[in-house]
Amino acid sequence: MSIAIPSFKVETRSGTSSLAALAAFAGLALAIAAPLVVSRGVVQDLFFILTTLVLAQNWNLLAGYAGLISVGQQVFVGFGAYAMFGAVILAGLDPIAAILIAGALSALLAIPTAFFTFRLQGPYFAIGTWVVAEVVRLLLAQWKALGGGTGTSLPRDATRDMIGVDLIRDLFGMKAAAASDALTYWIALLLALATIGFIYRLLRSKQGLGLAAVRDNEQAARAVGVDARRMKALVYVATAFVTGVAGALIYVQKARISPDAAFSVTDWTAYVIFIVVIGGIGTIEGPIVGVVLFFLLQKLFADFGSWYLLVLGVIGILVMLFTPRGLWGLFSDRTGIQLFPVRRTLIGGPPAHTPKGGPNG
Amino acid sequence: MSLLELERISKRFGALTVADEISFSVGEGEALGIIGPNGAGKSTLFNLIAGNIAPDSGTVRFGGMDVTRTPPMGRCLSGMGRTFQIPQPFEKLTVFENLLVAGSFGARRREAEACDRCAEILVDTGLFDKANVLAGGLTLLQRKRLELARALATEPRLLLLDEIAGGLTEAECHQLVATISAIQQKGVAVIWIEHVLHALTSVVERLLVLNFGKVIGIGKPDELMASRAVQEIYLGIEL
Ligand SMILES: Nc1ncnc2c1ncn2[C@@H]1O[C@H](COP(=O)(O)OP(=O)(O)O)[C@@H](O)[C@H]1O
Ligand SMILES: [Mg+2]
């Protein structure tokens, strides 16, 4: 059977119309200009949204693609934050430089952590990640130079004299506090864009295809030559780096740290899981939708105390029951719209068949 | 020199011996059939060859190298392609993407290089119409065909096929035999576990009969089927 085969074409369909591209461009311009137009309170809200989005994208990559359901990602937020504090207070580094060091140290921490948790399967892996987070929290709470169990603050002038703050003050005539908020906001924006860009590139690459195979069926993936273990380990270390950077950045902005807050499983993992699940796990769009919804819910219900958590819980359960692929999944299934298409569609056909256009869905 | 060599491979699951001192070899480009009753240990033998299960004792050599301790990924990369008796598709990937994983990782190619080959394999295995369909939505027969296609995409030197002809119509079975013969003619060695004897014997030169983890006989199909030991096993089952 030797049928002459015409050249096939493979497409990762990017159905983004020029209209959508224009909208994205306008959105980006607005996001960059935000600190110059909106109040400091709004800048801080946007900072929260962006950093939470980074955490959510990372958890989504970890759980939705590498199949690593971690409930201990707060370890990298807390460790990154403490590493930054250590670098600023003990080594006198600039907070911005300390953020990168914090990321590198978090990635380093991920190596021994993976060594322990990767021996555990399924739910035991999840429990293992949480145990690791608790152990690191307890250890850092012993660190007297950084305030022990009660925590400490960044020196006042450290955030004031950060690289770039002066420039922003001069350029836009802002007060020091506003300038430092603007700076952390822009870094958060850059981090969020870089994270999404990195994940999107990864998913469109050969490695991303292998990762999706591992997610679907690890045994089969190994049988066709995918190094599942290495792939998971790399994703784990990469997400530890980015999560550590995000943790450090969040705490540059907060300027005050304590072990309980920095290693909070609720703030840095439970909310993040909620965001990914309601938005849609296994898509890049899902966490974006999730984080916006989460922010709105928080604004609406935060005054109601424990009712707020109850509402979150009920919404989470309803979404899991009725649209397991999340709100974005529901929307995408109905409309066929994808902002970050990664599917490889084969178009063209052999002479025997009449070539028909791809199903486009 | 033979491509695959098993030397006194044994494996027990608790009290159950599923592989009992199994030794045989398969040459470059040769086709070997494996038959035996259900539970004889045929699929387990594939798992031992492909590295999913480690033997209690014995040696597996592939291409002259001792691969007894090599994990499945390494064996795939050195040229073993396998199907699973219970299909294991990547369900949230399309049929084409399923092949692309195998064609880029298993055959160590860049993704763009693998594309054309994978498309050809889809044509050869009759799956081209389903190229852009999610593998999770395939019927059992289509899933079995996908197993074959995906194993082929790894560009193997040895192809391990575990019961892929069951449930096919006469015409489809004929087509499958032609496909596998064509693969073998390109120099790929094939080991095929199959209950559909006439399909099997129209491809393979030698047959191996397995029962309770033991090799009952190995040799030319007609001579083997005439032997007493084999007839005892198959009396009342087939023939
Ligand atoms: N992982 C396992 N653990 C325990 N028993 C197993 C395992 N895999 C297979 N078996 C048993 O080994 C025997 C051989 O199984 P199998 O190799 O699948 O047979 P066949 O493919 O010849 O039908 C069966 O009795 C089966 O129940
Ligand atoms: Mg079997």
Mean predicted confidence (pLDDT) in A142-153: 85
In a domain, A304, yes or no: yes
Quick check: is A329 in a domain?
yes
Nearest to B132 among A226, A345, A350 (CB): A345
Q: Are A118 and A233 in contact (CB under 8 A)?
A: yes
- The alpha carbon of B125 and the centre of ligand 1 are apart by a number of angstroms equal to 29
CATH number at residue A309: 1.10.3470
On whether the CB atoms of residues B11 and B19 are closer than 8 A, the answer is yes
* Alpha carbons within 13 A on the beta-carbon side of B171: 1
Q: What pTM did the predictor assign?
A: 0.87
Instruction: Judge whether B85 is closer than 8 Å to chain A, CB to CB.
Output: no
- Asked if pLDDT for residue A322 goes beyond 60, the answer is yes
A360 located within any domain:
no
Q: How far is the CA of A160 from the centre of ligand 2 (A)?
A: 70
Has residue A358 been placed in a domain? no
Q: What is the pLDDT of residues B100-133, one digit of tens each?
A: 999 999 999 998 889 999 999 999 999 999 999 9
Residues comprising chain B, all counted: 239
In what helix (H) or strand (E) does residue A347 lie, and over which residues does it extend? strand A344-347
Across residues A178-194, what is the average pLDDT?
A: 94
Does the ipTM exceed 0.95?
Answer: no
Three-state DSSP class for residue A256:
strand
Average pLDDT score over residue span B216-230 = 85
**With bands split at pLDDT 50, 70 and 90, how would you rate the model's confidence at B45?**
very high
Q: Is residue A352 part of a domain?
A: no
Residues A139-149 have a mean pLDDT of 87
Instruction: Give the pLDDT band of residue A7 (cuts 50, 70, 90).
Output: low
The two beta strands, B31-35 and B206-211, are: parallel
Confidence of residue A5 (pLDDT cuts 50, 70, 90): very low
The residue contributing the CA closest to ligand 1 atom 3 is B13
Confidence of residue A341 (pLDDT cuts 50, 70, 90): confident
Share of residues in chain B with pLDDT > 90 (%)? 80
pLDDT at A202 over 90: yes
State the average pLDDT over residues B4-11: 95
What does the H/E/C string look like for chain B?
Answer: CEEEEEEEEEEEECCEEEEEEEEEEEECCCEEEEECCCCCCHHHHHHHHHCCCCCCEEEEEECCEECCCCCHHHHHHCCEEECCCCCCCCCCCEHHHHHHHHHHHHCCCCHHHHHHHHHHHHHHCCCHHHCCCEHHHCCHHHHHHHHHHHHHHCCCCEEEEECCCCCCCHHHHHHHHHHHHHHHHCCCEEEEECCCHHHHHCCCCEEEEEECCEEEEEECHHHHHHCHHHHHHHCCCCC
Token code pair at residue A85: 């504090």
CA B44 → CA B49, B148, B193, distances in Å? Answer: 9, 18, 11
* Two tokens, residue A80: 């990154």
CB within 8 Å: B50 and A10: no
Residue A52 in contact with residue A290, Cβ under 8 Å?
Answer: no
Domain count, chain A: 1
With an 8 Å Cβ cutoff, are A344 and B100 in contact? Answer: yes
Contact B106 A343 (CB under 8 A): no
Give the domain range for residue A76.
9-347
Q: How far is residue B130's CA from residue B207's CA, in Å, rounded to a whole number?
A: 34
The reported pLDDT for the residue numbered A72 is 93
Query: Per-residue pLDDT averaged across A260-283, rounded?
Result: 93
Q: Which atom of ligand 1 is nearest to the CA of B193?
A: 21
In the structure, ligand 2 is a single-atom ion and the residues with CB under 5 Å from it are B 42-43, 85
Residues of B in contact with A353 (CB under 8 A): 128-129
Q: Give percent of chain A above pLDDT 90.
A: 57
Span between the terminal Cα atoms of chain B, in Å:
35
Distance set, CA B15 to CA B11, B18, B19, B48, B49 (Å): 10, 10, 12, 18, 22
Average pLDDT over residues B166-190: 91
CA distance B41 to chain A (A): 20
Q: A336 pLDDT band (50/70/90 cuts)?
A: confident
Q: Is A353 within the bounds of a domain? A: no
Does ligand 1 come within 6 angstroms of the Cβ of B176?
no
Query: What average pLDDT does range A207-230 have in this prediction?
Result: 94
Whether residue B106 and residue A7 make contact (CB cut-off 8 A), yes or no, is: no
Ligand 1 atom with least separation from CA of B213? 14
**pLDDT tops 80 at residue B23:** yes
Q: Which two tokens stand for residue A238?
A: 């990469």
Count of beta carbons in the 10 Å neighbourhood of residue B42 = 22
Is residue A303 in a domain?
Answer: yes
Number of H helices, E strands in chain A: 17, 4
- Report, as an integer, the average pLDDT of B161-175: 90
Question: Would you place residue B210 in the very low, low, confident or very high pLDDT band (cuts 50, 70, 90)?
Answer: very high
Structural domain contains residue A260? yes
At residue A188's C-alpha, the angle toward residues A101 and A106, to 5°, is: 30
Q: Residue A14: what pLDDT?
A: 57
> What structural domains does chain B harbor?
1-79+158-239 (3.40.50.300), 86-155 (no CATH)
Considering every ligand atom shown, identify the ligand nearest to the alpha carbon of residue B44 and give its number: 1
Higher local confidence (pLDDT), A347 or B92: B92
Query: Residue A299 has what pLDDT?
Result: 86
Which pLDDT band, with edges at 50, 70 and 90, does A15 fall under? Answer: low
Residue type, B73: M
B41 lines ligand 1 (CB under 6 A): yes
* Mean residue pLDDT across chain B: 92
Of the candidates B80, B194, B83, which has an alpha carbon nearest to the alpha carbon of residue B144?
B83
